[in-house]
Amino acid sequence: MATYQPYNEYSTVTGGGFESSQNSSRPNTSGGNNSQSTLIPVTIKQVIESKQLVQDGPFVINNLELHHVSFVGVVRNVVDHTANINLTIEDGTGQIEVRKWSDESSDMANAAQQEENQDGPYNSQVAQMYQVGTYVKVYGALREFSGKKNVQFAVIKPVESFNEVIAHHLEAMKWHAIANGLLESPGFHASANIQQSGEQQSLFVQDNANDPKTALQRILDFCKQQCDGKDANDFAVHTKLISQSLGILEDDVRMYCQTLTEQGFIYPTFDDNSYFIL
């Protein structure tokens, strides 16, 4: 089992979290009901310091309403409880514990067998997926229990390229700037096939110049249709189904789904290839 160490021993960063002393003078542009279905990129400091201004209301930090959040950090500790694991994750601005449940029904039986044979502690399959010192990206719904922030329905994906870390923090800075009136909102709506004249091009790359809908829009519409009336706890749209239904290569579907995830329209659920609409 890895030994826990405080995040400040790994980083000299003491700031972060995009604190603002001008919050009270800035308009709240977080979007009202739209923010409930938006995946907000944040730092861990923002998660920890967010507050509920009204009972059962959304968490708010720097004019941002946090419902579903995503953050990137380094795994500093892994505690294996067989049925689930607790990951301690830090990003230089703070640290948080995230629980990940195991989907392997054999873990409990294997753990009992190993304990009976006195073969030492059992490492569950979910614990073997994450190593101390590696980067991960976390998606989930922000909740609070007993005064402690918690990410519910957490999806934890290994970061394959450090570019993802940089891109995430740039996105977090952009959302902070928009919410505090420092940057004009682009006013993007996925339902609109935005076309611009002159040197500017459409936001989405067209699969077929004669097709008014892009692959991204077709996938988003399909996911909305499939998820309508469904529960995210027991249903998800798999990339294979999207590929077969829309006639798009599955590798391309995965790429498009990653883009839609980063833009806050869908999020991964049971695994990296299963998605639900936000």
Rounding to the nearest 10 degrees, give the CA dihedral for residues 144, 154, 178, 54: -20
- 115 pLDDT higher than 60: no
- 9 pLDDT higher than 50: no
- 123 pLDDT higher than 80: no
User: Can you list the pairs that 121-126 forms with residues at least 24 positions away whose Cβ atoms lie under 8 Å?
Assistant: 121/1, 121/80, 122/80, 122/82, 123/80, 124/80, 124/82, 124/83, 124/85, 126/84, 126/85, 126/100, 126/101, 126/102
Tens of pLDDT, residues 146-199: 888 888 878 888 998 899 999 999 999 988 888 888 877 654 444 333 334 333
CATH entry 3.40.50.620 includes domain 7-179? no
Q: What is the mean pLDDT of the chain?
A: 75
Q: Is 200 exposed, middle or buried (0-12, 13-18, 19+ CB in 10 A)?
A: exposed
- 120 pLDDT higher than 50: yes
Please give the share of the chain, as a percent, with pLDDT higher than 90: 23
Instruction: Band the pLDDT of 95: cuts 50, 70, 90.
Output: very high
Q: Tell me the residue length of the chain.
A: 278
* Whole-number pLDDT of residue 108: 52
CA distance 154 to 156: 6
- 74 pLDDT higher than 90: yes
CA distance 203 to 92: 33
Domain residue limits, the chain = 7-179, 215-277
* Whole-number pLDDT of residue 191: 39
* Whole-number pLDDT of residue 84: 81
117 or 47, greater pLDDT? 47
Rounding to the nearest 10 degrees, give the CA dihedral for residues 126, 127, 131, 133: 110
Tens of pLDDT, residues 50-72: 998 888 788 999 888 888 899 99
Q: Of 215, 227, 206, whose CA–CA distance to 255 is shortest? A: 215
Tens of pLDDT, residues 233-250: 888 999 999 988 888 888
The fold of the 215-277 domain, in CATH, is Arc Repressor Mutant, subunit A (1.10.10)
Identify the weakest region by mean pLDDT among 96-110, 204-218, 237-251: 204-218
